[in-house]
Chain A
């Protein structure tokens, strides 16, 4: 038997293969360099425009003339070349792909490291750089070294205020920042079936923080229901006995709320250890934790209260935002004193809005707490949405009540 990566790439681990890509996407950050490089390839044409997506999410809306000019060029190109295009306000590239644009068994590449998010659907999804992407635009293909796989074996179920994010930070901590370099992760075991699609997306999203190339779930009834809501009929993927390089076991019932302390994603401590740490900003959103399930958890905690620290909430997509409006969650979030940003991911990388000042401390639901990432001299702690919500209300890090 073979791993899911081997099944999708159609070759055993260790082999180099050339494969046609089913979907490929860039955002406004990486698309500009991709376009430059594609031009340098010498007017090669676009191999499969219907496979290509240009999705603006990093600096939206544009913050200055330079950005506006770069976006103007990329926007015009995407429209003229007939690529799928999502303008400012549409949402984060990975989330837009997760809304019915990536299917089990597909090969997906994105010019962004968190493309691994889409492994949640049983797609082989991985991040590439601008030059690799330019070659995909021109040829429709790219090369892969079929990865060995690491099994992340899950049992039990998450309970109370413990979230998939706590489990994700816990597995990143166990593997370390390079523990899965050149490998794929496969999430397996009886603990998987009870995980919602949003939870799976969070778990796959963090795979790259272990150095992994991809983080895959086998498509099942949850995948089928989610993709069914976008009009896709998908078959479950069968898991057989396969050779994992190593397996790590996690009982979800034993996971506790954790925080990753700066400047490493793999350095975690129980929230209770950090209780009382004063905050200057709370940020809820990103491709990790900006989905409907996340906004719902957040609103349930802040409803009827006031946040004591400046709190920024950025829905992951227009669809997530619209859903929050329809269900009244957005009003709860606003009434609690939060600032709501348009769908996008600028604050996570200190690129646009929500930048943290020197000496300030931010609790974020994002995926990276590298030095200076959200602003020079600022410190980033990473947590679940529930921890972020409870801490926003308290003005300091605190554990969410069950």
Chain B
């Protein structure tokens, strides 16, 4: 499984309230989440996410369990997220909806091309390469199926 795209750099401890604010949760319309993603951090950011790979600081996705945070990123076109660590609920949520995550410490330069290769277990930028903490076999299976719903259907 290989993903690549231009990096969008974010600081550490990005909480799920910042990813998608509580005031936008009461809807089934996923396009709203894609539009409002990161609104409270930087309203212009959502326009740069399509096709991008987020390279964030540690503890990405902390706080609320709202799965809408992971869904918002995916709907906005984010291909994957690289961070030295993730909050555990966000981590499970992202894998469950088929958003690739890579636990790795990769220095970030905005716009630089970065690659996540979960098969070989590495991430790289134009000048650096870093190992990725391996996913469990089942998580990798869920992710490569496209998420838990697809994994579940396949299993049946």
Contacts and interface: CB of A to CB of B under 8 A. Distances in A.
Contacts of A30: 65-67
Contact of B87 (A36, A112, A130, A211): A211
A127 B89 contact: yes
A155 to B, nearest CB: 30
Interface string B77-92: 0000000010111001
Contacts of A129: 65-67, 70, 89, 92-93, 96
B40 A376 contact: yes
A373 B68 contact: no
Contacts of B147: 131
A113 B63 contact: yes
B22 A373 contact: yes
A143 B26 contact: no
Which of B22, B58, B136, B147 has the most chain A CB atoms inside 10 A of its CB? Answer: B22
Most chain A CB atoms below 10 A, which of B41, B89, B147: B89
Given A59-B26, A129-B96, A177-B13, A372 B21 contact: yes
B40 to A, nearest CB: 4
Interface stretch (B1-9, B114-122, B124-132, B148-156): B148-156
B59 interface: yes
Contacts of A138: 152
B67 A178 contact: no
Nearest to A33: B67
Interface string A103-137: 00000000111010000000000011111101100
A112 B40 CA distance: 22
A181 B152 contact: no
Contacts of A112: 64-65
A350 interface: yes
Contacts of A177: 13, 59, 62
A138 B152 CA distance: 10
Interface of A: 16, 29-30, 32-33, 36-37, 40-42, 44, 59, 66-67, 70, 111-113, 115, 127-132, 134-135, 138, 143, 145, 177-178, 181-182, 211, 213, 264, 349-351, 368, 370-373, 376
Contacts of A33: 67-68, 71
Nearest to A210: B62
Contact of A372 (B26, B40, B88): B40
Contacts, number: 119
A37 B149 contact: yes
B21 A350 contact: yes
A128 B89 contact: yes
Contacts of A115: 65
B85 A143 contact: no
A356 to B, nearest CB: 12
A275 to B, nearest CB: 28
B96 A131 contact: yes
A207 to B, nearest CB: 12
Given A70-B26, A178-B85, 17 more contacts: A16-B138, A33-B71, A41-B153, A131-B147, A132-B92, A134-B148, A135-B148, A143-B138, A178-B58, A211-B62, A350-B21, A368-B63, A370-B15, A371-B17, A372-B17, A373-B17, A376-B40
Given A211-B62, A372-B40, A130 B136 contact: no
Given A42-B153, A129-B70, A16 B17 contact: no
A373 B63 CA distance: 11
A115 B89 CA distance: 12
A181 B85 contact: yes
A30 B17 CA distance: 14
B17 A368 contact: yes
Given A42-B156, A143-B138, A373-B17, A131 B97 contact: yes
Given A143-B138, A178-B13, A211-B87, A66 B22 contact: no
Contacts of A134: 148
Top-5 shortest CB links A-B: A129-B93, A178-B59, A131-B96, A349-B22, A129-B67
B25 A351 contact: yes
B43 to A, nearest CB: 11
24 contacts: A32-B28, A37-B149, A44-B152, A66-B26, A67-B26, A70-B28, A111-B65, A113-B65, A129-B93, A129-B96, A130-B93, A131-B97, A131-B147, A132-B92, A134-B148, A178-B59, A351-B22, A351-B25, A368-B15, A368-B17, A368-B63, A368-B64, A371-B18, A372-B40
Nearest to B94: A129
A37 B70 CA distance: 14
A350 to B, nearest CB: 5
B89 A29 contact: no
A249 B148 CA distance: 41
